[in-house]
């Protein structure tokens, strides 16, 4: 059995745990990196109001649809009353179901309705013919491996704050920071200047977000703001990465930029050729950082 996982949006938050879970059940997972072909696929199925990150997601669906038995698409609404998600995360199932002829595995995360990841993965496993005993063991092992890996990655990221190099905090959603076409291209350009690159999504700092916004209730925006509060005294500059036209980022990033006292660069990526001028802007920003 092969399950396709679109390497976009929720992939960068949940894939590692999924990988460990399905490995224990001997199920193969299929994904691919984002490239221009994936973006072309996405533009074919998307409309003009969708953000680039959502277009990338649809491009991955188009790539996977004939290469696997199922595609995993959870409906992710919230992790509690004050930890809401972008509406795209809860609409992906319906969007894909209407655009593509594919078999979908789905489950819902809605903590307000007591629907969580564990129950969801168990429901999928039972649907695929596994026993509760097999699923319990697979989930326990997946959680142990996932938290061990996450702890290690977060420690590496945190230790970078003590580096003697110039330090740049990348503030963005995980699906933009780590995407091969968007975030990794930007980071590759930054590495030319021997900066220490620190990632906002590898801190457990959401409880600090109230120092910048009292009423923010979007889960991943809170985590980004918390990372800024945690790092602001130790980094030399901040780079915001947004995919146009993200409504959450257009509001939250503007709020933050008015309050921070550090040099910052706001990168808004809007289409296939949007990365063409990034190198020049990063070079100018690097000059500012070096002069401070």
- Segment 190-216, tens digit of pLDDT: 999 999 999 999 999 999 999 898 888
Judged against a pLDDT cut of 90, whether residue 33 lies above it is answered with yes
Judged against a pLDDT cut of 80, whether residue 276 lies above it is answered with no
- Look up residue 43 and give its two tokens: 């533009």
Q: Write out pLDDT tens, residues 102-143.
A: 999 999 999 999 999 999 999 999 999 999 999 999 999 999
The whole-number pLDDT of residue 49 equals 87
Percentage of the chain exceeding pLDDT 70: 98
Instruction: Please tell me the least confidently modeled range out of 25-39, 65-79, 113-127, 263-277.
Output: 263-277
The whole-number pLDDT of residue 274 equals 58
Top-tier CATH class for 2-150? alpha beta
pLDDT mean across residues, the chain: 94
Give the C-alpha distances (Å, rounded to integers) separating 32 from 56, 61, 146. Answer: 12, 10, 21
> Considering only CA atoms, which of 15, 6, 107, 12 is closest in space to residue 55?
6
Judged against a pLDDT cut of 70, whether residue 273 lies above it is answered with no
Judged against a pLDDT cut of 90, whether residue 17 lies above it is answered with yes
The whole-number pLDDT of residue 169 equals 98
The whole-number pLDDT of residue 292 equals 81
Give the C-alpha distances (Å, rounded to integers) separating 269 from 69, 102, 181, 245. Answer: 33, 29, 11, 9
- All CATH 3.40.50.11900 domain ranges of the chain, comma separated, are 163-291
What average pLDDT does the segment 54-69 reach?
A: 96
Kindly report the CATH number that applies to the domain delimited by 163-291.
Answer: 3.40.50.11900
Judged against a pLDDT cut of 80, whether residue 275 lies above it is answered with no
> What would you report as the CA-atom Rg of the chain, rounded to the nearest whole angstrom?
19
The whole-number pLDDT of residue 272 equals 56
Name the CA dihedral angle for 139, 80, 231, 184, rounded to a multiple of 10 degrees. 60
d(CA 94, CA 99): 9
The whole-number pLDDT of residue 43 equals 92
pLDDT band at 247 (very low <50, low <70, confident <90, very high): confident
pLDDT band at 48 (very low <50, low <70, confident <90, very high): confident
What distance lies between CA 274 and its chain's CA centroid? 20
Q: Write out pLDDT tens, residues 216-229.
A: 889 999 999 999 99
Q: Burial letters for 184-221: b for 16+ Cβ neighbours within 10 Å, e otherwise? A: ebbbebbeebebbbbbbbbbebbebbeebbeebebbbb
């Amino acid at each position: 059995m092969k399950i396709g996982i679109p390497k976009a949006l929720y992939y960068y938050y949940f894939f590692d745990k999924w990988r460990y879970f399905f490995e224990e059940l001997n199920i193969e997972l299929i994904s691919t990196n984002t490239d221009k072909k994936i973006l072309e696929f996405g533009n074919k199925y998307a409309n003009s109001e969708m953000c680039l990150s959502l277009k990338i997601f649809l491009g991955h669906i188009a790539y996977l649809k004939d290469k696997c038995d199922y595609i995993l698409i959870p409906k992710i609404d919230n992790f509690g009353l004050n930890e809401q998600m972008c509406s795209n995360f809860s609409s992906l199932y319906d969007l894909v179901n209407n655009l593509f002829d594919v078999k979908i595995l789905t489950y819902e995360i809605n903590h307000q309705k007591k629907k969580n990841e564990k129950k969801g993965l168990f429901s999928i496993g039972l649907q695929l013919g596994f026993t509760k005993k097999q699923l319990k063991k697979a989930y326990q092992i997946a959680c142990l491996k996932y938290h061990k890996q996450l702890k290690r990655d977060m420690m590496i990221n945190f230790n970078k704050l003590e580096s003697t190099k110039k330090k740049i905090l990348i503030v963005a959603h995980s699906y933009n920071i780590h995407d091969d076409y968007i975030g990794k291209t930007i980071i590759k350009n930054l590495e030319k200047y021997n900066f220490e690159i620190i990632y906002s999504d590898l801190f457990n700092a959401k409880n600090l977000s109230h120092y910048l916004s009292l009423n923010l209730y979007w889960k991943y925006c809170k985590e980004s703001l918390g990372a800024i509060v945690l790092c602001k005294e130790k980094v030399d500059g901040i780079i915001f990465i947004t995919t146009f036209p993200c409504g959450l980022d257009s509001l939250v990033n503007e709020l933050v930029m008015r309050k921070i006292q550090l040099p910052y660069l706001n990168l808004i990526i809007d289409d296939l050729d949007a990365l063409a001028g990034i190198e020049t802007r990063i070079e100018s920003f690097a000059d500012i950082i070096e002069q401070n």
